[in-house]
C-alpha cells in the first residue's frame, strides 16, 4: 500500500531513484522464477552495500560518521539510518575546544579559533557534533560557543 501524498513527499531525485528501483524490481520479479537454477545467471538486484567481509575501522576523529548519523557527503560510501546536511556555524570570540566526546573531561582534538567555520550535524543538550570539513576533524563542542553565520 502506497503512502498518501500528504504523508509522503519525495524530491524529484528521490522519485527518480524510486522509479528506477521499481523498474529493476519488476524486471527481477519477471525473470527470477524462470531463471533460478537455470544457466547460472545471477538475477538478484545488487546495490552499493554488500557483505564483502571485514571493513577497516573508521577513525571517528576524521570521518563525520556515527552509528546513527553521517554527513550527507558520505551517502553511497557508508550506510547509516540518517544523513545530515551540515548547518554552518561560526565559532564565537574566545574560541572553542573540539572534543572526542560530549563531556567536559574528554580528550581535546584541537582548539577552534574565533571566526572558524564549523559544520554542525547534530545538537543534543549543550553539545554540538560536527566537523570542520568532510575530511575532518570531527568532534563535539559546546553549542553555546557557536553562532549562525552572518
Quote the percentage of the chain above a pLDDT of 70: 66
pLDDT of 60 > 50? The answer is yes
Q: Mean pLDDT lowest for which of 11-25, 53-67, 89-103, 117-131? A: 11-25
Give Cβ neighbours of residue 72 (< 8 Å, ≥ 6 apart): 83, 84, 85, 86
Residue from 79, 92, 85 nearest 131 by CA: 85
Quote the pTM value. 0.65
Amino acid at each position: 500500500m502506497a503512502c498518501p501524498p500528504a504523508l509522503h513527499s519525495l524530491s524529484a531525485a528521490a522519485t527518480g531513484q524510486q522509479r528506477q528501483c521499481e523498474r529493476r524490481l519488476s524486471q527481477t520479479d519477471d525473470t527470477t522464477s524462470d531463471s533460478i537454477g537455470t544457466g547460472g545467471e545471477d538475477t538478484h538486484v545488487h546495490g552499493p552495500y554488500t557483505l564483502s567481509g571485514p571493513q577497516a575501522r573508521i577513525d571517528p576523529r576524521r570521518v563525520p560518521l556515527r552509528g546513527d548519523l553521517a554527513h550527507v557527503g558520505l551517502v553511497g560510501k557508508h550506510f547509516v539510518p540518517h544523513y545530515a546536511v551540515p548547518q554552518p556555524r561560526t565559532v564565537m570570540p574566545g574560541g572553542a575546544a573540539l572534543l572526542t566526546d560530549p563531556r567536559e573531561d574528554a580528550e581535546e582534538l584541537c582548539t577552534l579559533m574565533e571566526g572558524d567555520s564549523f559544520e554542525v550535524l547534530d545538537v543534543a543538550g549543550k553539545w554540538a557534533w560536527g566537523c570542520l570539513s568532510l575530511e575532518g576533524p570531527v568532534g563535539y563542542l559546546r553549542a553555546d560557543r557557536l553562532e549562525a553565520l552572518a
